[in-house]
Each structure stands twice: as C-alpha cells, then as structure tokens.
C-alpha cells in the first residue's frame, strides 16, 4: 500500500521501486558501487553502472572483474540479467534513481577532498529530469548533501528543477537523500544484505522513496530525520573505531616498555560479558574510512569554532604507528649488529588488512617508503598484489617478491597478516621476523620480535 508521505505525482516512481522495475544507476564502480550494483541486479532491477575510468568499463563490458572478492562469473551473470557499464553520463536521464559512490579521500594537507563528489554531481545535473531520486553514499562531512550536492543540481540542470523539501507535489522537483555505505571488505561473518541501511532524505518523501529503494535489497532500513544526521552517523561509526584503535595502540606501546603482552591482555579483557569490546593494535590505520573520516569531522568542526581533541589525538597516535614499526625494525637489526641502512627487508602484505585486495591508505605503503628513506633495500610480497605502481600518495613501482628466498633477507616484516602465509615456515627460515599483527602467536623463536 502506498504511503501518504509520497506525493501522488510520484506514485509511479514508488510503484516502480516496489515492483523492481525502476532503472537504477550507480556512479562509481569501485569497492562500494560495484557490490551495491550487483545487489540491485540480483533483485532484477534494470541497472546501469557509470564510471569515468574507461578501463573499468571495458573490463566489466568484457565480463571480467578487477575486485578479487567479486569473481568474473558474477559479472557475467549480471550481464545476462541486463547489467551494463558505461562512461556516458547522458544515460543518467533514463534512470529513475541515481546512487553516487565515489571516493572522498584526504588531500595532502589532511583536509577533505570532495572533488569527486563535485565533479560527479556536475556531470549528473545537465541530465537530471523531474521526479528522479538522487542518493549520495560517499562518506563526507555533515552538510555536504545540502550545502554542496543540491546547489549544483539546482543550478546546473536544464529544466529549472528544484529539490523537493516537503512542499506541494509539483512536477518540476527531484528528490535527494544521503545513505552512508557500510562496506567492510573481507568480513564474511555478516552478509551484506543484513547490514542495516541508514537513510536520511531532504524531505519525508525522499526518505521514504530511498528507504523503499534500499529496502528492496537490504533486510532493514533505518530512516533518520535529515541527510546531516545520516552523514554524522557514518562519521560516528568510524570515529568510534579510530579512537578505540588509537587507545589500544597507545597501550601497546606502554605494554612493550613494561614487558606485558598486550594481546594476552586483550584476550583476558574480552572474557568480560559486558562493557568491553575488543580492538586490536597494528602498524597503522588503512582503508577508505577509519583513517579518513575523523578528519572530515575535525575539519567541519572548525566552522563552528570547535576543536575535536579526542579525534585529533587519536589521529596523531594512529599516524605515528608506521614510524614505531620502522624504529622497531631498526632496533631489532641493531641488536644483531646490523644497521637498517643497507639492510634487506621483505615486507609481508601491502593490503590495508588481511585477505583483501585493497591498498587504500595502507600503512604498508608508508612503512615501505620510511624504510627506503632510511637506506633499507625493500621488497614486498602480497598474494593479492603482483605489482604496486603509483597512487595518489605513493609511487613505488615494485613487483611482489617470491617467498622461496626469505633467508636472503636481513628482516622479514609482517605488516598484513594474510591467511595464505605459512608463518611457522617463515619464522623457521628467516634470519629475523618482526611481527606487527600477532600473526605468529603460539610460535617461539629467538629470531622473532613482536612489536
């Protein structure tokens, strides 16, 4: 039964969504957009994927995949159900709903870079038509949807369209909502469809339409009162993790000085059935959210003359961890009468966490650059990355080394604890192993250092 919140003029759009006949466009075919697109496709929606990267479009068009956890067979099955990928933004006009899933990194000054959002919305606007639903999923600071996205859409569309703000159901309006992505690459314990979807529309009708859209592929939607609430929700989720990871990283440094095993401490504390959730130390933060999102809020808070001290301190601690790792390698080599300058170091794992093919903000990249800057000869091994070239913040141009000759290295540094690695054999064969992830737990060896 149609809700009274949706204007009569858009009964057709709601009906299309509920009947899975709506045309859905997903912009940005990366780790967020492509899996989302496939969910809609599996539910028999007509889906078009948009991306400015011609190589991605070509791979998908040819039935291939560039994301490890999405096999080519899934793309081929989706194509058989009508999926297509394109770089032609004029096709936006044919979509009933458009979902934006583009990157929102930090710039070199650790300030928000929403240029991908801006350029994408500028591409959408000339092809916007009345009664379309536009949803932003990209993580960003509270206010982006209403302060950035809507003004561009209203200014640059060709029909004089205005966003629906809950007024009368005129034919020259469109709907806008924000719904934060909640991807967790490598997490096989929670099915994607079981992750509740937070939705905040500019108007009640926008919220209901977006909730209906996502409710067709997710088991639960969580409507909130505005896009800003939805934007802040995503930031809170990741700032919570960032602060707690910083806390346990700081405690790890203290425990190292005190001769206490922080991993044993965490395991013991985890037996408490209430009031404690375990977080784990590591070589630094990686991924598309936790190292980035807190700085979005810190930056936005300055507009309100407010300093987010917890967030800034957590950022400082987490950003210092790669330096701690390199110092630990230098110290471990020094105890063996070997200088870091000139030492051969093999870094195990460049992905930002285990068993995924994602380099974004990976601490391994920073660690490799720091090791090189101190004179080390560095190789890496990662089963998910045969090569590492050039990115926004790194230029390594390296090829994954074989694990057959670990004995030839002065130090093997475990940065990403992929399940594929045979840690007992590595510890047995290597001259020195420095473990930042507790991957070697249960293994005792004189050539093993945990940091």
Q: Quickly tell me which residue has 């949803």 as its tokens.
A: 135
CA 408 – CA 72 distance, rounded (Å):
37
Contact 356, 68 (CB under 8 A): yes
Nearest-10 crossing angle of helices 293-301, 309-334:
140
Active site (annotated) includes residue 289: yes
**Dihedral, CA of residue 51, residue 56, residue 57 and residue 62, to nearest 10:** -160
Distance from C-alpha of 344 to C-alpha of 379, rounded to nearest angstrom: 8
- Sign of the CA dihedral with 247 first, then 252, 254, and 260 last: positive
Residue with structure tokens 């959408």? 124
Catalytic hit among 101, 242, 255, 289: 289
Across 171-232, where does the E strand assignment appear? 173-178, 197-201, 221-224
Q: What's the half-sphere exposure (Cβ side, CA atoms, 13 Å) at 99?
A: 29
* Cβ count near 275 (within 10 Å): 6
Of 107, 98, 126, the residue nearest 33 (C-alpha): 98
Burial of 410 (0-12, 13-18, 19+ CB in 10 A): buried
Both structure tokens of 123: 């591409």
Return d(Cα 366, Cα 362) in angstroms, integer: 7
Catalytic positions are 289
């Amino acid at each position: 039964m149609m809700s009274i919140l949706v204007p009569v003029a858009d009964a057709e759009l709601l009906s299309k969504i509920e009947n899975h006949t709506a045309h859905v466009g997903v912009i940005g075919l990366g780790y967020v957009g492509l899996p989302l697109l496939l969910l809609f496709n599996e539910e028999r929606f007509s889906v078009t994927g948009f991306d400015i990267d011609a190589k991605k479009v070509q791979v998908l068009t040819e039935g291939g995949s560039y994301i490890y956890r999405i096999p080519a067979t899934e793309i081929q099955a989706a194509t058989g159900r009508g999926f297509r990928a394109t770089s032609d933004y004029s096709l936006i006009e044919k979509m009933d709903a458009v979902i934006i899933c583009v990157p929102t990194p930090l710039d070199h000054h650790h300030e928000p870079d929403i240029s991908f959002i801006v350029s994408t919305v500028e591409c959408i606007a000339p092809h916007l038509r009345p009664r379309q639903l536009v949803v932003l999923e990209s993580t960003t600071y509270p206010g982006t949807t209403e302060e950035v996205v809507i003004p561009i859409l209203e200014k640059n569309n060709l029909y004089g369209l205005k966003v629906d703000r809950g007024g009368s159901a005129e034919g020259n309006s469109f709907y806008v909502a924000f719904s934060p992505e909640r991807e967790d690459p490598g997490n096989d314990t929670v099915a994607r469809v079981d992750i509740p979807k937070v939705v905040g529309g500019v108007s009640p009708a926008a919220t209901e339409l977006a909730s209906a859209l996502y409710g067709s592929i997710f088991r639960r939607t969580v409507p909130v009162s505005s896009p800003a609430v939805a934007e802040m929700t995503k930031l809170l989720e990741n700032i919570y993790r960032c602060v707690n990871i910083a806390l346990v990283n700081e405690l790890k440094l203290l425990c190292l000085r005190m001769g206490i095993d922080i991993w044993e401490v965490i395991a013991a504390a985890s037996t408490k059935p209430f009031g404690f959730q375990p977080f784990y130390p590591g070589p630094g933060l990686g991924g598309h959210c936790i190292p980035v999102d807190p700085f979005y809020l810190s930056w936005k808070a300055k507009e309100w003359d407010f300093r987010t001290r917890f967030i800034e301190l957590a950022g400082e601690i987490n950003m210092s961890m790669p330096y701690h790792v390199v110092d630990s390698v230098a110290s471990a080599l020094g105890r063996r009468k070997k200088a870091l300058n000139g030492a051969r170091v093999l870094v195990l794992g460049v992905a930002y966490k285990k068993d995924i093919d994602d380099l974004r903000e990976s601490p391994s990249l920073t660690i490799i650059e720091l090791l090189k800057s101190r004179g080390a000869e560095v190789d890496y091994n990662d089963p998910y990355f045969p090569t590492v070239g050039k990115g926004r913040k790194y230029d390594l141009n390296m090829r994954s080394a074989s694990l057959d000759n670990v004995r030839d290295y002065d130090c093997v540094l475990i940065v990403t604890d992929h399940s594929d690695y045979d840690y007992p054999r590595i510890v047995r064969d290597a001259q020195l192993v420095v473990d930042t992830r507790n991957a070697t737990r249960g293994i005792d060896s004189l050539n093993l250092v945990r940091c």
